[in-house]
Chain A
């Protein structure tokens, strides 16, 4: 059926604030879907409470509603807009749940809105564990033995029948919340009550655990004519037992025979057909017994998911974009193939490369958290890497993680503690992958590793090859490594820095130079969905070491934007937002815009955003070689958070132009000592501080600056390792711990302005003028990380003199630092005096928020200013905000029930929402204000 012409206006529901299990992949999906519908001349309305999303930008939606995701908000929209259809499949479980609630309350019916892309009955069938299980049995698809329980007693009966180990899966929860494995009878009662509590319907499924089976996912698309295609097969490196969001995954499936794969494909199609007759995307998870190759279905999600974002990036097939077209009636064979532009969207992508996804965890932020991986997702972000072999992709993924690793080991960070390693293999956490290799290096037999981890032998053999190569490399010195062997090392994903470490006594640059001398260069291959069978023009590349380079460098002036890598606490979707706007602004300014990033969840890695996308680690060696190939006018480091900013030093060292503020000026802002000197010079107050390299020095400093003090390492993100201490004893402990975790680092000790108020400013400077983007006042007193504070735009409680001082100091610092582009400053206000706490010479977390609240494209303006394309006076900036906008932090503590929900100087929130209030009389605001000190830690 061609497009349904009765649909003129569609509402897309977003997924709200970022929480563990639901991140910016839904911004990617929502943005794609909106653009795809707009292409068809459809008016698109969007509801999302998350201001840091691209989908809530004017460039995406026609009518954007930054409102809480509630039925009341939906009604408000439906009263204001004539909506023909709602598309709830782009906003994760949150959007589906809201859609369902509105359906139950008769809202859609009342306003004559059709639900497209899914049917409610289908959601019901997939979310209700018992109904799903019964359906699978009816259609002849295998499932693990299980029983539903609605009470404690029923749960106990079920366990008795099924036996241990078993799994508890609560119905209707996100990211496996409240679920888990139970190995022993003693642990069952506790797990059961937790599961029953987690489920909104107090229902759990007690299921036989298929520990050690292999786990796979398929991504499907179906149209209204029931044509089905499989976009991608994904294999989990970590077998059953670890949530797929916490598993290392590989595409295409590496260890499946055609017989087994086709069996899975048939079952997936059968399952999708069985749950309902809807057009759109669908994700199906399977488990395979490695011995018999029996397949059982784990779950089916009739919507766009984290895995479909990964599959889109892995294959180049834009699932959400096409799913949106299918939702409004098109058939797959009627939609244009986005890659070839000459054929149809009805085809299955084929890959001539391998992708590896590794999750990124932030356990350091959740003290006391159970760090063992299981059924409940705990990671906060992920990276994807592309290579021509599995191992190349795996090492590139390790380089993308930004966990201070140079690849899979070979960097001096290996563990040699066999006991620790063996424990880790059996109790998987974030570092198990590394320990697998460490175990091999220590001579643990592959079979022993396989037995405890159940990781497929094929993967283990690939890793073992690395250990063999490293042994071989030790026979050489840098100058006598045979070219063929050197090439093999690079093809296996080794960074020059790893090779340098393995050789010892040589630097990364020497390895680089020797490699170039031998003529071993990176080349770039295109991601084209068809393994080069057809000509394609997708500007989407990855690097490898082979003969032919496909990335043809144009004659145009180019700008490279460095992305922010994996999402983590303190650095998330806000920086993706900034990068996307940076790319678009650079294009508008006449440049070819080039993106480098490795986060598959993002909009910035959509190959339609930049003129050219390099899906590569934001890791010096990779960045450097792209720069050497593309020879850009300069590199933008201000938009990709601390990840991109950290590259500034290297860029500077190699004489590569940094767009905007210079390296030296940025370094002044980042270096506590230099920055304080500057503040002194500018006559700006700052808290007394000192620097220490040992606990003894720290005590001395603390006595000098006076307790309470704020202790933190220099150069960190999101307040990592920060604490406030009030006496010598605590200080000693804090400093010893910091120096142990971050050896070689210096410790900063600031006098902590107790009971001060906190505020921050964002500004743009063009070298002459300074424009204050906005001032935000925190509701909580100083001591809670700015990312975890409720904050109000504009300030609601600060005297005019204070506001004037903040503006004046911002301008003074911006000019002194010679800022070209963005500057964020954190203030503490005590007894009417304004102190500067820190300055960040880059886009901050708050700029997207302010841009949304004031409806001004600040990143676009800042980028053009950075590029020197325009001056501030060229813009007519008009702020549109009635009343106030409140930034609400959102936490994912439900994933870590054992962690205290105490807030402090270390950031813990995963996301944020925006809420507009007309006046300070607003009851919501009054409530917040009253409770402002509740969560402050001692």
Chain B
């Protein structure tokens, strides 16, 4: 299909900036916080990552959809992004293993997008102005109407979203005869985290976001995993309590992304909304314990407050971001608990940090 025959669409930012483009995916209107991801592969994994819930994603890669959609390469059961902004929305795909086109996928899951946008200009704008809400529409082109709609969208700060993406009922993952049992607190867990446990002989039980420590303990796990997920960690006191209880019981604990932020909060360290989050597959991180570097997959708009981590006598820093020196990993002194801000399970992204899963398994062996 040729671009110019496509329907027009519009993207309006909270600060009034407008971008015109073409309709991609379902014809409709969508809202969310706008953010950009710089990954050059793995769009499907990103779309289905629950941490993106409520966000309109700008893909900086110039072509999206080239290799189609594969039923297996998903991080949750459905697309989680609120909308997509891209340059080239490629409906034709060549990959033999793929099932459907990105257009059919979006159509099927009611996802609205906009293509043919000067995404580079948009990224430069967001980079300088910071995270903000936005609205995409391919059915309403009247900016005044869109402005009104956009005004009703709540800010991401202070939003609790995990309970919306978390499983409603507990479920199991992996081989029940596995060597270890891990209780996974699902705040929006990515499938690849469970795959990584499974491949290491870990049998996991995945619990809804608001499950208490007592509840999980009944299953008698060897360790606890606090997952990634969307929203503001400071709006989740229930999860902080759970983490505190796990620490008090001195059980092995591993947290990723949101889980990292909650582990920090449980140790009295505050979190903050970042001016611009980290989203991409090329974030350089240094493990300051081993002095080795790793290229990491990241997706977060909130972070732990660096000064508070440095001042804390409860935790120590294990990983640092080489771009902005932000805190990428901590461990709790005297406890078997550690967490990282980035995504060692990646998918999409480099596999440099998979050793953290081994570390966690080793911790449970002791």
Contact with B along A528-568 (1 / 0, CB 8 A): 00111111000000000011101000000000000000000
Among B2, B73, B120, B295, the residue within 8 A (CB) of A548 is B120
Using known A-B contacts A351-B40, A532-B127, determine if residue A488 contacts B97 with beta carbons closer than 8 Å: no
Among B88, B124, B293, the residue within 8 A (CB) of A346 is B293
Contact with A along B104-122 (1 / 0, CB 8 A): 0000000000000011110
Contacts of A653 in B (CB 8 A): none
CB neighbors of B among A417-463 (8 A): 456-459, 461
- How far is B285's CA from A229's CA once the two chains are assembled, in angstroms? 12
- How far is B3's CA from A469's CA once the two chains are assembled, in angstroms? 10
Using known A-B contacts A350-B40, A457-B92, A533-B127, determine if residue A485 contacts B282 with beta carbons closer than 8 Å: no
- How far is B175's CA from A749's CA once the two chains are assembled, in angstroms? 86
Contact count band on B: 35 or more
- How far is B348's CA from A348's CA once the two chains are assembled, in angstroms? 14
Question: How many residue pairs, one in A and one in B, have C-beta atoms under 8 Å apart?
Answer: 172
- How far is B60's CA from A352's CA once the two chains are assembled, in angstroms? 5
CB proximity of A255 to chain B, nearest CB, Å: 5
Among A255, A344, A351, A546, the residue within 8 A (CB) of B95 is A255
Using known A-B contacts A261-B41, A533-B36, A533-B280, determine if residue A388 contacts B87 with beta carbons closer than 8 Å: yes
Contacts of B38 in A (CB 8 A): 350, 352, 530-531, 533
The count of residues in chain A whose C-beta lies closer than 8 Å to any C-beta of chain B is: 64
A525 and B293 contacting across the interface, CB-CB below 8 Å: no
A332 and B293 contacting across the interface, CB-CB below 8 Å: yes
CB neighbors of B among A386-417 (8 A): 388-390
- How far is B320's CA from A346's CA once the two chains are assembled, in angstroms? 13
- How far is B68's CA from A290's CA once the two chains are assembled, in angstroms? 14
CB proximity of A228 to chain B, nearest CB, Å: 8
**Interface residue? B167 (CB, 8 A):** no
B92 and A351 contacting across the interface, CB-CB below 8 Å: no
**Interface residue? A479 (CB, 8 A):** no
- How far is B291's CA from A331's CA once the two chains are assembled, in angstroms? 11
**Interface residue? A265 (CB, 8 A):** yes
**Interface residue? B71 (CB, 8 A):** no
B2 and A258 contacting across the interface, CB-CB below 8 Å: no
**Interface residue? B286 (CB, 8 A):** yes
Contact with B along A565-582 (1 / 0, CB 8 A): 000000000000000000
Closest B residue, CB atoms, query A232: B40
CB neighbors of B among A340-367 (8 A): 343-344, 346-354
Contact with A along B260-295 (1 / 0, CB 8 A): 000000000000000000001111101000011101
**Interface residue? A630 (CB, 8 A):** no
**Interface residue? B39 (CB, 8 A):** yes
Contacts of B351 in A (CB 8 A): 262, 265-266
Among B61, B70, B119, the residue within 8 A (CB) of A257 is B70
A344 and B284 contacting across the interface, CB-CB below 8 Å: yes
- How far is B315's CA from A789's CA once the two chains are assembled, in angstroms? 74
- How far is B63's CA from A872's CA once the two chains are assembled, in angstroms? 54
B119 and A352 contacting across the interface, CB-CB below 8 Å: yes
- How far is B38's CA from A351's CA once the two chains are assembled, in angstroms? 8
B2 and A347 contacting across the interface, CB-CB below 8 Å: no
Contacts of A258 in B (CB 8 A): 39, 41-42, 45, 73, 347-349
Contacts of A255 in B (CB 8 A): 66-67, 94-95
A388 and B284 contacting across the interface, CB-CB below 8 Å: no
Using known A-B contacts A390-B63, A485-B4, A546-B121, determine if residue A229 contacts B291 with beta carbons closer than 8 Å: no
Among A252, A261, A333, A548, the residue within 8 A (CB) of B124 is A548
A546 and B60 contacting across the interface, CB-CB below 8 Å: no
A256 and B63 contacting across the interface, CB-CB below 8 Å: no
B2 and A465 contacting across the interface, CB-CB below 8 Å: yes
- How far is B58's CA from A617's CA once the two chains are assembled, in angstroms? 30
**Interface residue? A225 (CB, 8 A):** yes
Closest A residue, CB atoms, query B60: A531
Using known A-B contacts A350-B282, A533-B123, determine if residue A259 contacts B73 with beta carbons closer than 8 Å: yes
- Interface-central residue, A353, A482, A531, A534, by most chain B CB under 10 Å: A531
**Interface residue? A472 (CB, 8 A):** yes
- How far is B97's CA from A230's CA once the two chains are assembled, in angstroms? 26
Contacts of B94 in A (CB 8 A): 255, 290, 456-459, 461
CB neighbors of A among B279-330 (8 A): 280-284, 286, 291-293, 295, 322-324
Contacts of A352 in B (CB 8 A): 38, 60-62, 87, 119-120, 123
CB neighbors of A among B331-363 (8 A): 346-351
Contacts of B19 in A (CB 8 A): 547
**Interface residue? A670 (CB, 8 A):** no
Q: Which 4 A-B pairs have the closest CB atoms?
A: A258-B42, A548-B121, A258-B348, A531-B60
**Pairs A–B under 8 Å by Cβ, sample size 18:** A252-B40, A257-B41, A257-B42, A258-B348, A291-B96, A347-B282, A347-B283, A347-B322, A347-B323, A350-B61, A390-B63, A458-B67, A458-B93, A458-B94, A488-B2, A531-B36, A546-B120, A548-B120
User: A-side interface residues toward B, CB under 8 Å?
Assistant: 225-227, 229-230, 233, 252-259, 261-262, 265-266, 290-291, 293, 331-333, 343-344, 346-354, 388-390, 456-459, 461, 465, 468-469, 472, 482, 484-485, 487-488, 491, 525, 530-535, 546-548, 550
